[in-house]
Structure 1
């Protein structure tokens, strides 16, 4: 995976909010304001889709992110971003905003920030010890 591609995405999407990449799925999850809006796998970006933005992906000839599990192909609700969109910053941001809206509509909770989540766990452990 090209770290340059991830850096490019972070730079281009920074105008929309807080962008982060986290290792997962053998690739990286792309997060915008704590919501997973995409998967970056083998230098290909897949964005979150729902009924509202799926027609755009279908019209562009895109396909969903798939993987094999127990001999079966599993498709996720993340579809390949058309190649021509990647190089157009305005279009990329527009498609990313629709992916974020899909994540919000799906009821996807915001992912906790790593430092905050670790701090919260430490507080819970201290509280549990005091109760003993």
Structure 2
């Protein structure tokens, strides 16, 4: 089920204290970006935040599940996005705290820019 425009607007509003975000529709859901980095995922009217080995335990402490999908009808894929705590949807301060964790995970996961061949040292 595609995510509604109303829900996307609501999520953008909840992130307003964190800073400006861009929401881009993709694959029936949407990605949430800040400074060009995707740090949140919206699927089926559910918000998921980026996590890594540093922050995953914060999500596990609340028994929050990771985002999963089934590829090619059988294989279950687990992604590095975890369901946001329900408190984030009601409390902008809480959303800002979790958004900062998710953005930090996105920064850590960012791959270094490739250097063009012409700029490499011989």
Same fold (TM over 0.5): yes
Measured on the aligned residues, the alpha-carbon RMSD in Å equals: 1.8
3-state SS in 2 of match to 1:17: coil
The residue aligned with 1:67 is 69
Shift of 1:84: 2.3
How high is the TM-score relative to the length of structure 1? 0.76
The residue aligned with 2:91 is 88
1:103 aligns with 2:72: no
Q: Which has the higher contact order (CA 8 A, sep 6+)?
A: 2
Contact persistence 1:66–1:76 (CA under 8 A): yes
Shift of 1:108: 5.0
3-state SS in 2 of match to 1:18: coil
Q: How many residues align?
A: 110
> What CA distance in whole angstroms lies between the structure 2 residues aligned with 1:39 and 1:7?
14
Unaligned runs of 5+ in 1: 110-132
Q: Highest Rg: 1 or 2?
A: 1
Contact persistence 2:68–2:76 (CA under 8 A): yes
Shift of 1:85: 2.3
Contact persistence 2:62–2:85 (CA under 8 A): yes
How high is the TM-score relative to the length of structure 2? 0.82
